[in-house]
């Protein structure tokens, strides 16, 4: 290793760290969903809209920067990955129409070609500073959609709304314009369709989990004393994106002596005794995501840290053993925390009373994050200091053992003590056990599961759940 201006840099080019890497299983790409899948979704939605009395549905997703949108509604409805307002008449003989391209983050086909949409109207971007055109984009979108609705017989109708908080200015503008219409928020129609996944959706989520496993194997391949968290993160990203992953920003990495910090890479150099957490919140493939989490131990770690790793490992295994169609979701959550209770870490699996890392005080008042210097050589080499202790208190990351996974920004269900729904075939979710104790020990490990006809399938089985060991 070489020291340059108090910064540690590798004597070996980072790109060479992946030399010789090959995953231990073959990834087979999956095609995007066929048009027939979207036809079936549209049939279901139109039937639900008819029952609700809607004449037309407006579905909206807004741009939130960095080529991302505020929800997955348009991706789910017509495979449109950008912002827009989609007009869905309830009558099946009327076409879908999309009003979009009202940001500069333009996509061209094939990624920009929506399924089943007949016309796409380019509203344009507005504003004096950037475009030297007076007006607001929101107002122009409202005007365009309103004119379309008026021209197609929907000026006095019941309009179902699929949107989120970013949709409110558009809905308010339309309500002011179409005073004889009734506007009914009804995104629950879409949300209810997210509980179970079709066989084709399952195949894509399975592939996303395989990409996550390949990325994890690449991270294992490069991890050794002297590499940085940037290099580990980059290895994971290259391996999964090179095989079809959509983006490389859906996950976190944490490296320190306690396993208790997890965020984005910042330049930490791996050293003996480090614990590394790769928290893969989302690897995205054709719009669907999978989530897994793994720990890496670099050389020897403390007995306490070994106990926490083993406890969390047992927690995932105990929860997974409960998953089958018809079983209560709460039984999996309760089982996952039995290893914690048996070891004296928790008193109960009750999510309401359980301590967790980001909890406020018991009386509901805000919890003060302890302020003291936490030594971090790599951060301090950049002229900064870590002056607060994270997390503020001990416990799991969340008072549950998992949640649904599939498409971003849909309302999740949680695998928690208060969820007394039953598992159903086609449900996809992560089971992750976590425990963090500031400056002592931490672990976050989890697998992605699919409920099958007679049990469950571990979609991330290609990398063992047990911590990966790096000899020193």
CATH code where residue 235 lies? 3.90.230.10
Beta bridge partner(s), residue 108? none
pLDDT the model gives residue 10: 52
Cα distances (Å, whole numbers) of residue 322 to 316, 335, 386: 10, 8, 41
For residue 312, is it within any domain?
yes
Interatomic CA distance for residues 220 and 464, integer angstroms: 12
For residue 30, is it within any domain?
no
For residue 187, is it within any domain?
yes
pLDDT the model gives residue 12: 61
Interatomic CA distance for residues 378 and 5, integer angstroms: 12
H or E segment and range at residue 407: none
Judge contact between 295 and 276, C-beta under 8 A. yes
For residue 87, is it within any domain?
yes
Interatomic CA distance for residues 270 and 273, integer angstroms: 9
Question: Do 317 and 207 belong together in one domain?
Answer: yes
For residue 164, is it within any domain?
yes
| pTM of this prediction exceeds 0.85 | yes
Question: Do 182 and 317 belong together in one domain?
Answer: no
Question: Do 200 and 188 belong together in one domain?
Answer: no
Judge contact between 270 and 276, C-beta under 8 A. yes
Specify the 3-state DSSP secondary structure of 162: strand
Q: Among 261, 253, 254, 258, which residue's Cα sits nearest to residue 236?
A: 253
Burial class (CB in 10 A: 0-12, 13-18, 19+), 449: buried
pLDDT the model gives residue 3: 39
Structure tokens at 204: 């894509």
Question: Do 347 and 421 belong together in one domain?
Answer: yes
Listed residues 140, 172, 192: the one ending a domain: 192
Structure tokens at 445: 């490990």
Question: Do 185 and 201 belong together in one domain?
Answer: no
CATH value at residue 57:
3.40.350.10
DSSP 303: H
Structure tokens at 254: 């944490």
H or E segment and range at residue 458: strand 456-458
Listed residues 167, 192, 217: the one ending a domain: 192
Q: Among 83, 52, 284, 69, which residue's Cα sits nearest to residue 190?
A: 52
Structure tokens at 357: 């890392």
Question: Do 307 and 230 belong together in one domain?
Answer: yes
For residue 6, is it within any domain?
yes
Question: Do 332 and 214 belong together in one domain?
Answer: yes
Interatomic CA distance for residues 322 and 472, integer angstroms: 38
For residue 147, is it within any domain?
yes
Question: Do 128 and 165 belong together in one domain?
Answer: yes
Question: Do 150 and 200 belong together in one domain?
Answer: no
What pLDDT, in 10s, does the model give residues 46-91? Answer: 999 999 999 999 999 999 988 889 999 999 999 999 999 999 999 9
pLDDT the model gives residue 1: 39
Listed residues 192, 207, 227: the one ending a domain: 192
DSSP 212: H
Interatomic CA distance for residues 41 and 19, integer angstroms: 44
Residues of the chain with pLDDT under 50: 1-8
Structure tokens at 277: 């957490």
Interatomic CA distance for residues 295 and 433, integer angstroms: 11
pLDDT the model gives residue 67: 84
Structure tokens at 197: 């996944």
Say if strands 84-89 and 96-100 run parallel, antiparallel, or are unpaired. antiparallel
Question: Do 225 and 365 belong together in one domain?
Answer: yes
For residue 367, is it within any domain?
yes
Instruction: Count up the domains in the chain and report the number.
Output: 2
Q: Which domain range does residue 130 map to?
A: 35-192
pLDDT the model gives residue 138: 94
In sign, the C-alpha dihedral spanning 27, 415, 250, 381 is negative
For residue 303, is the peptide bond before it cis, meaning its omega torsion is within 30 degrees of 0?
no
Question: Do 347 and 461 belong together in one domain?
Answer: yes
DSSP string, 74-114: HHHHH---S-EEEEEESSTTSPEEEEE--SS----TTTT--
Question: Do 325 and 226 belong together in one domain?
Answer: yes
Interatomic CA distance for residues 456 and 67, integer angstroms: 35
């Amino acid at each position: 290793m070489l020291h340059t201006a108090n910064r540690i840099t590798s004597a070996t080019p980072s790109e060479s760290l992946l030399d010789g890497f090959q995953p231990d299983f073959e990834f087979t790409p999956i095609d995007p969903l066929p048009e027939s899948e979207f036809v079936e979704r549209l049939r279901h939605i139109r039937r639900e809209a008819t029952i609700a009395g809607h004449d037309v549905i407006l579905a909206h997703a807004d741009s939130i920067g960095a080529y991302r949108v505020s929800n997955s509604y348009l991706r789910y409805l017509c495979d449109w990955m950008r912002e827009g307002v989609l007009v869905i008449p309830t009558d099946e003989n009327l076409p879908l129409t999309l009003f979009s391209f009202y940001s500069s983050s333009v996509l061209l086909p094939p990624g920009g070609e929506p399924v089943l949409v007949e016309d796409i109207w380019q509203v344009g971007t507005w504003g004096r500073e950037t475009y030297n055109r007076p007006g607001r984009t929101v107002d122009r979108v409202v005007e365009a959609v309103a004119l379309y609705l008026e021209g197609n017989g929907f000026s006095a109708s019941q309009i179902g709304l699929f949107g989120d908080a970013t949709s409110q200015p558009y809905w308010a503008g339309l309500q002011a314009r179409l005073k004889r219409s009734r506007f009914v928020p009804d995104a629950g129609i879409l949300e209810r369709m997210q509980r179970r996944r079709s066989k084709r959706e399952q195949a894509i989520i399975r592939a996303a989990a395989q990409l996550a496993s390949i990325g994890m194997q690449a991270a294992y391949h490069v991890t050794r004393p002297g590499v940085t968290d940037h290099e580990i993160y980059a290895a994971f990203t290259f391996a999964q994106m090179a095989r079809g992953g959509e983006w490389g920003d859906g996950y976190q990495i944490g490296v320190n002596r306690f396993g208790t910090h997890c965020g984005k890479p910042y330049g930490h150099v791996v050293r003996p005794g480090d614990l590394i957490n790769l928290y893969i919140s989302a690897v995205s493939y054709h719009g669907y995501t999978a989530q897994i989490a793994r720990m890496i131990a670099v050389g020897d770690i403390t007995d306490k840290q070994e106990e926490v790793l083993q406890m969390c490992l047992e927690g995932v295994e105990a929860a997974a053993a409960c998953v089958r169609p018809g079983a209560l979701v709460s039984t999996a959550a309760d089982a996952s925390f039995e290893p914690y209770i048996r070891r004296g870490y928790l008193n109960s699996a009750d999510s309401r009373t359980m301590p967790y890392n980001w909890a406020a005080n018991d009386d509901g008042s805000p919890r003060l994050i302890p302020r003291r210097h936490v030594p971090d050589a790599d951060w301090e080499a950049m002229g900064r200091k870590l002056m607060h202790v994270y997390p503020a208190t001990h416990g799991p990351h969340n008072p549950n053992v998992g949640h649904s996974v599939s498409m971003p920004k849909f309302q999740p269900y949680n695998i928690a003590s208060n969820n007394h729904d039953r598992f159903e075939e086609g449900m996809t979710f992560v089971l992750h056990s976590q425990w963090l104790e500031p400056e002592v020990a931490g672990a976050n490990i989890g697998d992605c599961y699919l409920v099958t006809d007679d049990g469950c399938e571990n979609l991330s089985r290609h990398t063992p759940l047990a911590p990966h060991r790096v000899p020193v």
